[in-house]
Chain A
């Protein structure tokens, strides 16, 4: 594995965003705001934090990621393709007839541990994986990327109670705390504050971080587990739609598909090299605009 640098993570995050923008545009799917929100977290995880190997996707010693916010599947697919788990070209089939890349993330793809999409499932599955690892005396860790909206789900808190009880220090919950859920701001629906205190009260070791500051996220991940004998929770303060000015902090871009002039404007704002998109796909993209 190459050594992660601030530059390499920044480049990966840029590619994840650009790929995801193109994927959602080609497929006519939604959730681009939620993908941009966690693109930097995914970039850090797949740039030196998680021990994964595209040549051995089922390696028993790999670190696991459960993307509990399965609606950000385009971001995970992009990260995995960038890491060589499957060809980049496959990304351009996202959400389209006959594709393996469903809108919500699918375990049919190498590198994807579990299919999700129904919110509030992932932390339980991740806790089960972590318990298995602990019972086996394994070294690997299980990461679980959660949305703030899914913290409305009761099942989430069932899992949050379980993990500290069983001292799952190999479990890491990362919350993409962008403060906007499906159709409204979190504060207007079900306020989560004091959020960090809630996790602490449940028995987790908690840290908070700027979810777009790669160096800070790397540093937090180097400190895992935050306390011995406790599961770790990293609350990542993020901006929904991060990277595209008119998508940032906007409820609209939870569901809207970037097309036409909006697609062009978004691509213009995003950092990173042009995505390796074939002429056929580009033509299709033009046709759909």
Chain B
């Protein structure tokens, strides 16, 4: 996804001279072309994320549109207070970008796994949170962020779901996209792991279970209408995120539906449960270990729908 992100920045940099990209000494190979073509719009600030975030706030208060760029938790948790006080409180036009959402950096280890960022970032006032599921969403979200004003967080995954856009579709920030129609259950996913949801849905369709699959690029503000419709029309909701189940997408859905007075027939959060990703392996392998791959999602659906079928009418 980072290539899609950088491609859009590169495309729009000439027409947006106010746009700047700050990197915390990461992006080797990916940012070289951008750096060579737009040296006045890129600053490698060094391995210093707190300073990067404060700098970004200062630049933004002077009228710049600033992207801060690093991996995992470095541009988020490491400098959370700067994001809270310097960016969000001042409504500074800074877009925090993390490459490597969830367990993208697989065998590198838990230090590089961003598995609490959605929960923590979305709790900040005035920030929008984006976690694209496929390359189209990654590019379109980036395009949107260059034009939009105010704080935002963009979580980019190494993996991406297969392209899900419909012909001629326009990206609508804040809108959840229906990428598979279905009426038996709804799978709601954010980030590249949406690919596992789609895989599960396709396999379950072969067994006569039709899943609606929702792609949540905008985690905040959350599109409650589409979720409410899904809960009412399909009964069950399964949230899927490469993230702790506490406070992330699943938490956000639960909060919103409960407050709207809508109770799905069942609700399951697929994600990390009070554990760090300590096992060594690729992103794909870890999704299996931590029960969030297509097979695990299928198991959840079959168990829940099976249990429902067993209830006497």
Residues of A within 8 A of B (CB): 107, 113-118, 120-133, 135-136, 154-155, 158-159, 161-162, 166
- Docked Cα-Cα span, A159 to B61, in Å, equals 17
Q: Given known contacts A132-B62, A133-B62, is B90 in contact with A158 (CB within 8 Å)?
A: no
Count residues of B near A (Cβ-Cβ below 8 Å).
Answer: 25
Q: Which of B48, B57, B58, B86 has the most CB of A within 10 A?
A: B58
8 chain-A/chain-B pairs, Cβ below 8 angstroms: A122-B54, A124-B53, A125-B58, A125-B86, A158-B46, A158-B50, A162-B51, A166-B43
A129 engages B54 (CB within 8 Å): no
**Smallest CB separation, B256 vs chain A (Å):** 30
- Complex contacts, B63 vs chain A, CB 8 Å: 132
- Docked Cα-Cα span, A158 to B25, in Å, equals 13
- Docked Cα-Cα span, A123 to B53, in Å, equals 12
A161 engages B55 (CB within 8 Å): no
A121 engages B54 (CB within 8 Å): yes
- Complex contacts, B62 vs chain A, CB 8 Å: 128-129, 132-133, 136
Closest chain B residue, CB of each to CB of A154: B50
B45 within 8 A of A: yes
Q: Which residues of B in the span 32-75 have a Cβ within 8 Å of any Cβ on A?
A: 40, 43, 45-46, 48, 50-51, 53-64
**Smallest CB separation, A26 vs chain B (Å):** 26
- Complex contacts, B226 vs chain A, CB 8 Å: none
Closest chain B residue, CB of each to CB of A166: B43
B58 engages A127 (CB within 8 Å): yes
Which applies to chain B's interface (DSSP): helix, strand, loop or mixed?
A: helix
A121 engages B86 (CB within 8 Å): yes
A121 engages B45 (CB within 8 Å): no
6 further A-B pairs in the complex, CB-CB below 8 A; given A114-B61, A124-B51: A118-B85, A120-B50, A122-B54, A124-B82, A125-B58, A126-B58
- Docked Cα-Cα span, A132 to B85, in Å, equals 20
Closest chain B residue, CB of each to CB of A136: B62
- Docked Cα-Cα span, A161 to B57, in Å, equals 18
B54 engages A124 (CB within 8 Å): yes
- Docked Cα-Cα span, A135 to B81, in Å, equals 27
B276 within 8 A of A: no
- Docked Cα-Cα span, A124 to B50, in Å, equals 8
- Docked Cα-Cα span, A235 to B57, in Å, equals 26
Which applies to chain A's interface (DSSP): helix, strand, loop or mixed?
A: helix
Closest 3 CB pairs of A and B: A128-B58, A124-B54, A132-B62
B266 within 8 A of A: no
**Smallest CB separation, A54 vs chain B (Å):** 19
**Smallest CB separation, B18 vs chain A (Å):** 10
B285 within 8 A of A: no
Closest chain B residue, CB of each to CB of A125: B58
A115 engages B90 (CB within 8 Å): yes
**Smallest CB separation, B299 vs chain A (Å):** 46
- Complex contacts, B86 vs chain A, CB 8 Å: 114, 121, 124-125
- Complex contacts, A166 vs chain B, CB 8 Å: 43
**Smallest CB separation, B21 vs chain A (Å):** 13
- Complex contacts, A121 vs chain B, CB 8 Å: 54, 81-82, 85-86
Contact of A125 among B45, B46, B57 (CB under 8 A): B57
- Complex contacts, A126 vs chain B, CB 8 Å: 58
- Complex contacts, A113 vs chain B, CB 8 Å: 61
B61 engages A129 (CB within 8 Å): yes
- Complex contacts, B54 vs chain A, CB 8 Å: 121-125, 127-128, 155, 159
A107 engages B90 (CB within 8 Å): yes
A162 engages B50 (CB within 8 Å): no
Q: Given known contacts A115-B89, A118-B85, A162-B46, is B59 in contact with A132 (CB within 8 Å)?
A: yes
**Smallest CB separation, B55 vs chain A (Å):** 4
Contact of B51 among A107, A116, A132, A158 (CB under 8 A): A158
**Smallest CB separation, A50 vs chain B (Å):** 17
- Complex contacts, A124 vs chain B, CB 8 Å: 50-51, 53-55, 57-58, 82, 86
Closest chain B residue, CB of each to CB of A133: B62
**Smallest CB separation, A109 vs chain B (Å):** 13
A129 engages B50 (CB within 8 Å): no
Q: Which of A107, A122, A125, A154 has the most CB of B within 10 A?
A: A125
Q: Which of B46, B48, B51, B59 has the most CB of A within 10 A?
A: B51
**Smallest CB separation, B58 vs chain A (Å):** 2
A161 engages B59 (CB within 8 Å): no
- Docked Cα-Cα span, A2 to B90, in Å, equals 32
- Complex contacts, B46 vs chain A, CB 8 Å: 158, 161-162
Closest chain A residue, CB of each to CB of B54: A124
- Docked Cα-Cα span, A129 to B86, in Å, equals 12
**Smallest CB separation, B24 vs chain A (Å):** 10
**Smallest CB separation, A143 vs chain B (Å):** 13
- Complex contacts, A161 vs chain B, CB 8 Å: 46, 48, 51
- Docked Cα-Cα span, A162 to B25, in Å, equals 13
Closest chain A residue, CB of each to CB of B85: A118
- Complex contacts, B51 vs chain A, CB 8 Å: 124, 127, 155, 158-159, 161-162
**Smallest CB separation, B81 vs chain A (Å):** 6
Contact of A132 among B48, B53, B64, B82 (CB under 8 A): B64
Contact of A114 among B45, B48, B90 (CB under 8 A): B90
- Docked Cα-Cα span, A124 to B52, in Å, equals 8
- Docked Cα-Cα span, A219 to B9, in Å, equals 46
